[in-house]
């Protein structure tokens, strides 16, 4: 899991709250998101990234998401894969629709339809060299700059059927799951063991519906939690 995105009505406000809470340096603003009718701010958090996006024009996917969920919240999870052609074949075999692709010499991305992978927009991306990340700006393009320790260690995704959603995400990522509890109300965890990261799927608890509700990050100043942009941020050791 290389990047998580929040969607907000006011990108600057939420980005400012993140900087004040965590002392992060100024973010990168990617002009490329203008093709989606968005503005954004991308923060480097260790060698992972936290992004805030906001609609910059009417009738955007992000704007409709804000309306549907009744405000700011978690929006997107981006996973870096070593073999993108194989990952694309896997999602095609699963019948998962692709809504956007980009293929550049040093990075490529594949956004999946959220109705086919519930709880967020999931993207499968590839980078060369693998430590680089063009989406985070020139300092991460073709290289990995000096950066602080820590990074994103997990997400909590609230969904109508945690077991089914976890199974779908795991199939898309090509990994296994483990469950806690029984029945439709169970909490289910998908572990990205090589990276020490976890995806926790829990029952949607309110009228906002499905979405990313928590981000855990190693290296935060304190343990929190902090509520920023409709998402609970929590510190984590390691």
Contact status, residue 114 vs residue 120, Cβ threshold 8 Å: yes
pLDDT band of 238, cuts 50, 70, 90: very low
> For residues 51 and 28, is the Cβ–Cβ distance under 8 A?
no
Q: Any idea of the CA torsion for 143, 144, 145, 151, to the nearest 10 degrees?
A: 160
pLDDT tens digits for range 35-94: 999 999 999 999 999 999 999 999 999 999 999 999 999 999 999 999 999 999 999 999
Interval 217-225 mean pLDDT = 86
pLDDT of residue 183: 47
Summarize pLDDT for 128-149 with one digit per residue, the tens.
Answer: 999 999 999 999 999 999 999 9
> For residue 224, is pLDDT > 50?
yes
Q: What is the percentage of the chain residues whose pLDDT exceeds 70?
A: 95
Higher pLDDT, 53 or 224: 53
Q: How far apart are CA 188 and CA 199, in angstroms?
A: 8
pLDDT tens digit sequence for 13-37: 999 999 999 999 999 999 999 999 9
Q: Which residues contact 176 (CB under 8 A, 6 or more apart)?
A: 170, 190, 191
> In whole angstroms, what is the distance from residue 39 CA to residue 130 CA?
26
Integer angstrom CA distances of residue 19 from 25, 26, 52, 130: 7, 8, 12, 27
State residue 86 phi and psi, 5-degree precision. -65, -40
| Residue 179's pLDDT band (cuts 50, 70, 90) | low
Residue 59 Ramachandran class (φ > 0 left, ψ -120 to 50 alpha, else beta):
left
Nearest to 72 by CA among 229, 198, 234, 226: 229
**Averaged over 150-161, what is the pLDDT?**
96
Calpha distance 83→80 (Å, rounded) = 9
Query: Which residues, including other chains, have CB under 8 Å from residue 34's CB and lie 6 or more apart?
Result: 56
pLDDT at 181 over 60: no
Closest CA to 21 of 213, 237, 222, 230: 222
User: Whole-model pTM?
Assistant: 0.95
Residue 236 is predicted with a pLDDT of 80
């Amino acid at each position: 899991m290389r990047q998580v995105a929040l969607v907000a009505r006011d990108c600057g406000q939420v980005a400012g709250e993140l900087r004040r809470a965590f002392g992060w340096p100024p973010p990168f603003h990617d002009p490329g998101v203008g093709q989606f009718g968005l503005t954004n701010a991308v923060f480097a958090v260790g060698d992972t990234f936290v992004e805030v996006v906001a609609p910059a024009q009417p009738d955007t996917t992000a704007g409709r998401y804000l309306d549907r969920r009744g405000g700011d919240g978690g929006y997107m999870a981006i996973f870096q894969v070593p073999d993108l052609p194989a990952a694309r074949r896997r999602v095609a075999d699963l019948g998962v629709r692709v809504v956007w692709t980009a293929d550049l010499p040093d990075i490529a991305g594949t956004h999946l339809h959220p109705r086919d992978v519930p709880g967020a927009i999931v993207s499968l991306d590839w980078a060369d060299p693998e430590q680089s990340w063009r989406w985070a700006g020139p300092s991460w393009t073709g290289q990995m700059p000096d950066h602080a320790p820590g990074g994103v260690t997990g997400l909590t995704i609230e969904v109508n059927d945690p077991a089914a959603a976890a199974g779908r995400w795991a199939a898309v990522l090509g990994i296994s799951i483990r469950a806690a509890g029984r029945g439709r109300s169970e909490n289910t965890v998908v572990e990205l063991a090589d990276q020490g990261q976890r995806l926790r799927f829990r029952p949607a608890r309110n009228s906002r519906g499905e979405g990313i509700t928590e981000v855990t990050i190693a290296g935060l100043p304190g343990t929190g939690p902090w509520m920023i942009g409709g998402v609970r941020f929590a510190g984590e050791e390691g």
